[in-house]
Amino acid sequence: MKYFVIYVLVMLSGCDRDSTVTDKVNLPLISDVPVSAWESLSKKTIYFGHQSVGNNIIDGINGVMENNDSIKLNIKNTSAILNYEIPVFAHSDIGENGDIDSKLRDFSKNIHKGVRDKADIAFLKLCFWDVRRKTDINKVFNDYRENIADLKKEYPDTIFLHLTVPLMSHSNGVVANIKRMLKPDNDDLDNIKRNELNRLIIQEYGGKEPLFDIALIESTLPDGGRAIFSVDGKDYYYLPDEYTDDGGHLNEQARKHVAEQLLISLSQLENSNRIID
């Protein structure tokens, strides 16, 4: 019996993986963006609706700008773009975490009342806490799609950028794997739902409309490998420990990592047919 337990522990310690060495992602570098692209972006009016991870990203953008004199965005915490005479990168909290309907309502309300047709680009980001193991992802996806379709119809000159849902971490190691043998890991089940919703978003908009895959960025390690866990032969992405201190929010390294990729993507967003992934 003792040797069987040792054998199981050894097998478990070897089968869990933080990332894959294949299918590496080559992300663009912020240094490759020409100054002219940053100048063009600084003249845009942008609205971003979010919650806490969105604030992490905004902090990351501010940090990137501190180290890059070419990026000069007028970042304001407001949904009242109509009050600004000059271009602005406006952002504000929307809804409550865990209540997706409230976020969709607030985003639409802010567009109708404070943004209208003044925004060149508008987007919202759901939170990792909005999508968990019991979430009806088909309802969430359909509600989101209908909401954005209505806004696009009313404001045809605004580019509505789609975002995937952020991920949470995945516990690794022998103890975690033993626990998984006894019962499903709730964090894994939550991340599976997020991955499934993200696949619906990518299937719907990828290659067709502007899309920023924040889950891809979050799960891509500095060496280009992806943070992956497997359940029943299927791979799912997660937020690696290198990028978070609490399992969901972005630490300093991750804030810079995600902010850079969002800025690069926005700098490339020239028209509604531009695809970002």
pLDDT band of residue 24 (cuts 50, 70, 90) is confident
Question: Does 157 have pLDDT greater than 70?
Answer: yes
Whether residue 277 is contained in a domain is answered as no
Question: Does 4 have pLDDT greater than 70?
Answer: no
- Residue 86 buriedness (CB in 10 A; 0-12 / 13-18 / 19+): exposed
Whether residue 156 is contained in a domain is answered as yes
Which residues, in sequence order, are CB contacts of 265 under 8 Å at separation 6+?
212, 276
Rg, the chain, Cα only: 20
| pLDDT score at 171 | 62
Number of domains forming the structure of the chain:
1
Give the largest Cα separation in the chain, rounded. 75
Whether residue 7 is contained in a domain is answered as no
Question: Does 173 have pLDDT greater than 70?
Answer: no
**β-bridge pairing 162-163 and 121-124:** unpaired
Question: Does 271 have pLDDT greater than 50?
Answer: no
Question: Does 180 have pLDDT greater than 60?
Answer: no
Which residues, in sequence order, are CB contacts of 129 under 8 Å at separation 6+?
97, 98, 248
Summarised one tens digit per residue, pLDDT across range 64-109 is: 999 999 999 999 999 999 999 999 999 999 999 999 999 999 999 9
Count of CB atoms situated within 10 Å of the CB of 218: 26
Whether residue 37 is contained in a domain is answered as yes
What gap in Å lies between CA 224 and CA 85, rounded to an integer?
41
Whether residue 274 is contained in a domain is answered as no
What gap in Å lies between CA 207 and CA 47, rounded to an integer?
23
Whether residue 116 is contained in a domain is answered as yes
Average pLDDT of the segment spanning 47-73? 97
pLDDT band of residue 20 (cuts 50, 70, 90) is very low
Q: What is the CATH number of the domain that holds 114?
A: 3.40.50.1110
Summarised one tens digit per residue, pLDDT across range 210-262 is: 999 999 999 999 999 999 999 888 999 999 999 999 999 999 999 999 999 99
Whether residue 10 is contained in a domain is answered as no
**β-bridge pairing 228-231 and 234-237:** antiparallel
- Please name the amino acid found at residue 252: E
Whether residue 15 is contained in a domain is answered as no
Q: How many CA atoms lie within 13 A of 38 on its CB side?
A: 17
Closest CA to 192 of 213, 227, 167: 167
| pLDDT score at 275 | 38
Place of tokens 């067709």: 208
Among 7-21, 25-39, 59-73, the minimum mean pLDDT is found in: 7-21
| pLDDT score at 82 | 94
Domain span at 124: 23-268
